[in-house]
Amino acid sequence: MTSHLIVFAKDPKPGTVKTRLFDRFTPEEAAALYKAFISDTLAKARGVEANAHILCYAPASATASMVEIAGPDWDLVPQVYADLGERMATALRQSLAAGADRVILTGADIPSLPSTHLAQALDLLGDCDVVLGPSTDGGYYLIGVTADHPAIFQNIAWSQSSVFAQTVERVRNAGLSLGLVPPWYDVDTPEEVDFLLAHAEAAGEAEWVPKWTIAYLHTMDR
């Protein structure tokens, strides 16, 4: 089977990313931290076996910035200009149209995500129509499909705590089989940064510890 792995990311431009961190971090610091998130996410995802590794970025004008971060090991594709659901649906559809039998998509807001979760999601698509990775804030950090299912992205209250529940309902209403990988946590707020740092320090040398993110946090007097 042909597998594609897609990572969604934004250009880490100060003032445009991780705005919920501004209570503690300056826009420049938040952007630098998010850049570390991207680097950690790409490193882990690149280690997962797939026929294509795709960085799907926004805005489309950020090509040079994203090439610098991703290096030569990633195929770069700009996101379409639409709401989050349509952007994800389009990215998955493009991979399916390119010949992928199974496609997973994850974001760069979850730098500590174990690579085993990504590999498990691809494996589950051998038996399931859709795979989701629930996030602890009520959304999902990963979605995978074996065919185009636009209905599962429609009429979702994006960025709300009901996203996962609404998506599960769409999947069931469409008569699709669903597989789940273990829940994990996004890092969007200062408190979640604190949790990530404590979690990583407690875990020591665990595979999932995001080295670029932790290294950057250790340079800061927080």
CATH of the domain at 177: 3.90.550.10
Q: List, for residues 76-104, the tens digit of each pLDDT value.
A: 999 998 899 999 999 999 999 999 999 99
Q: List, for residues 6-17, the tens digit of each pLDDT value.
A: 999 999 999 999
pTM of this prediction? 0.96
Work out how many domains the chain is built from and give that number: 1
Q: List, for residues 21-50, the tens digit of each pLDDT value.
A: 999 999 999 999 999 999 999 999 999 999
Phi, psi of 208 (to 5 degrees): -80, -10
Q: List, for residues 171-187, the tens digit of each pLDDT value.
A: 999 999 999 999 999 99
- Give me the domain span that covers residue 64: 3-218
Q: List, for residues 136-147, the tens digit of each pLDDT value.
A: 999 999 999 999
Q: Give the per-residue pLDDT at 221.
A: 63
Contacts of 135 (CB under 8 A, 6+ apart): 110, 141, 164, 183, 184, 185, 186
Cα separation of 17 and 11, whole Å? Answer: 8
Comparing CA positions, the residue from 76, 9, 5, 6 lying closest to residue 36 is 9
